A and B are shown apart, each in its own frame.
Chain A
């Protein structure tokens, strides 16, 4: 069964460092997303991406965050200068359609900022 894969599974970084989280969405999917979940809290939408551009972003997704699809398979989330409050599980997701159907989530990348 096709799946969304994410790397790394866990990353520890120092405050102020840049972090790149990587995702390989399902191959024929066209819509890509990042969500995050701070420990013990709700899953929160960060950004959606389609046709090589951001289609929607949340208030959380400020100038410190960026997304990119550098080639035909990878989808990345970059945090330029990490803060303690960026510590969370980051989930990549993809879907074939934008309107309906299901969203396929990866297993997540746990980011710990010290």
Chain B
């Protein structure tokens, strides 16, 4: 089962920042936080991942709390194309293979 808890849905106005929370209170020291999204029924798309430091790339920023029990994915300027289901996933980095355990995610609706 997924080891994360996310709100089932969120709304965001186009152009505003979308802040998607994730609770992973049982995360272990060797587990990373990954974010993927799924637009409609397309294949999941990698967004970002991190261990304990905040991370930023061209798509998003990831803020992980100091105790690592929760994190927030930030889409700084949401567009209509960011409407998707966002999945927060924790997984050990030192395992050989990427068996991702998807939960139900957060359905983000970006409106004009």
| Surface stretch bound by A, among B5-13, B16-24, B62-70, B101-109 | B101-109
Closest to A57 in B: B99
Closest to B92 in A: A99
User: Interface residues of A: mostly helix, strand, loop or mixed?
Assistant: strand
A48 and B98 form a contact (CB under 8 A): yes
A108 and B41 form a contact (CB under 8 A): yes
A107 and B43 form a contact (CB under 8 A): yes
User: Interface residues of B: mostly helix, strand, loop or mixed?
Assistant: loop
A104 and B46 form a contact (CB under 8 A): yes
- Kindly list chain B residues whose C-beta atoms are within 8 Å of the C-beta of A89: 41
| CB contact between A45 and one of B32, B100, B104 (< 8 Å): that residue | B100
Known: A42-B102, A43-B38, A100-B32. A4 touches B96 (CB 8 A): no
Give per-residue flags for A38-59: 1 if the beta carbon is below 8 A from chain B beta carbons, else 0.
0000111100101000011010
